[in-house]
Amino acid sequence: MRIATFNVNSITARLPRLLAWLESSGTDVVCVQETKCSEAQFPYEQLRELGYEAAVNATGRWNGVALISKVGLEDVVRGLPGGPEYEGVEEPRAISATCGGVRLWSVYVPNGREVEHDHYGYKLDWFRALTAAVAEDAAGPRPFAVLGDYNVAPTDEDVYDPAVFAGLTHVTPAERAALEALRGAGLSDVVPRPLKYDRPYTYWDYRQLAFPKNRGMRIDLVYGNEPFAKAVTDAYVDREERKGKGASDHAPVVVDLALDA
C-alpha cells in the first residue's frame, strides 16, 4: 500500500496537478491538508472518476483536511475529539478513517503565528489534545499513523538555517516538546534522514527563490505506531511535485507499506 500526506494549499487551485499526480504516483491513500474549500465545493466527482472516494472535514476558505482513498474509508471521524476552539470556533484540522485495514489521521496543526500570539497557545493546546486522542490507537495492534502538516521542524537539521528561525514559531522548545510527547504516546517518525538527498525538506516559501535555493523546512511528517513502522518498505519526499507552475508550496511525503494479507 502506498500512503502519502500532501498539503495542497487549495485543492481547487491544485486540482489538475493533484489528479495527474495521483495517476502517476500510484498512491492508494493521500492525507490532504489546506483544502481551502467548503465540503460542497470539494471535487468528489473528479476523484471518483479515478477510482478514489473521499472523506472531508472542511468549512470554507481556510484550513480543511481530507482523506482520499482507493482502498476504502471506514469509521470516519471528523474533527479532533476533545480539541480546543480558536476564537469560539472548532477549526477543521483533523479527520481519521480506516483505509485498507490501516487507521489513518490527516492533520493540519495550527501555525502558531508568533510566540506571543494567542494562536501559539492554541497550537500547544491542540497538540495536547491530539496526543490524548491518538494514544489508544497508537498502542493498539493494527497499523496506525498520524500524517500531515505539523507546522513544527523536529530538529535544527530540519530547517535550512537555524539562525534564520531563532525566536520564531515552528522551532521553539515547547513545540518540539509537543512532538516528543506525541512520540511518547507510541509513535515514531517513519521517514528516515537522509533520504536520497541530504536535507529532505517538505515546504519552501514561494518568495525569494526559496525552492531553487533549497531554503526549506521539514514540517510534513508521518508518525506511525510500531506495526505501521515495521511495515514501511520505502519513504520519500516527492520534490518533483513542488516544481513548475501552479505547484503547492509543500511537496508530498510518500510511504510504502508491505502489509500482511
Tell me the CATH number at 79: 3.60.10.10
Q: Into how many domains does the chain fold? A: 1
At 204, list the grid cell: 519552501
Weakest mean pLDDT among 4-8, 43-47, 190-194: 190-194
Tell me: pLDDT of 194 over 60: no
pLDDT score for 61: 83
Whether residue 158 lies in the annotated active site? no
**Residue 12's pLDDT band (cuts 50, 70, 90):** very high
User: Among 67, 80, 78, 144, which Cα is nearest to 109's?
Assistant: 80
Tell me: pLDDT of 85 over 90: yes
This prediction has a pTM of: 0.96
Q: Which three-class secondary structure state does DSSP give residue 246?
A: coil
- According to the annotation, is 250 in a ligand binding site? yes
**Contact (CB, 8 A) for 159 and 193:** no
Tell me: pLDDT of 196 over 60: no
Weakest mean pLDDT among 172-176, 194-198, 201-205: 194-198
Mean pLDDT for the chain?
95
What 8-state DSSP symbol labels residue 38?
B
Whether residue 75 lies in the annotated active site? no
Domain that holds residue 155: 2-257
Q: Which of these is catalytic: 28, 52, 137, 149?
A: 149
Tell me: pLDDT of 197 over 90: no
Q: Which of these is catalytic: 28, 52, 108, 238?
A: 108
